[in-house]
Amino acid sequence: MRKEFNKLANVLERYDLTEYGDELDIALKNLKDKIDEVEKRLKIVDKTAREIELAISKYTESVDGNEAFKMSVDNHDVILRGSHDIMITTDLGDDEPIKNDWYGMFNKEKKEKSDENFIPLKDEIDRYQVVEEIISKLKMIDVDGETMEYILNKVGMSEQMHSQLSKKFTLYDI
């Protein structure tokens, strides 16, 4: 799903069919966020299924031998809870896995993005002023390519910049 989404986004960028903040850009961002959520939910399903498999595997030999066995309450609970967790996780309308940050999958980005130096912006004028200050500081330190690449990686924009620059500087332009 991610691969197909990236192909679509690259085609739209290649033909300049979207601009930052326009309706299509917002729709693509929302779709990307949903894909991120689904991928995380699938990881939860995988981890939960492994827990269930581990609990069941303790009794496989007895079941295969058609022997009577007594299951521990803990293993029963792992299996029952796990099956319920899978049903909850695959229901995209249920936000419990997100709210409760199952397996630490959902709040990592929020924790990374939250920073004591974060400046909330009231509007686009504030954003423009902050951007101009950043550009001024980068010019002041005479930023080099490696430092700029480091900055792009730290703000999570290296893939987007690669895509935009690849589109801008095609073989025909060189």
pLDDT in tens, 138-159: 888 888 888 888 888 888 888 8
| Structure confidence at residue 169 (pLDDT) | 62
Q: How many CB atoms lie within 10 A of CB 52?
A: 19
With a CB cutoff of 8 Å and minimum separation 6, the contacts of 163 are 9, 10, 13
Which parts of the chain sit beneath pLDDT 50? 110-114, 173-174
| Structure confidence at residue 87 (pLDDT) | 93
Alpha-carbon gap, residue 168 to 83, rounded angstroms:
49
| Structure confidence at residue 121 (pLDDT) | 59
Residue extents of the structural domains in the chain: 1-115, 119-174
| Structure confidence at residue 34 (pLDDT) | 92
Angular region, 18: left φ>0, alpha ψ -120 to 50, beta rest: beta
Within a 13 Å sphere around the CA of 40, how many CA atoms are in the beta-carbon half?
19
| Structure confidence at residue 31 (pLDDT) | 93
| Structure confidence at residue 161 (pLDDT) | 82
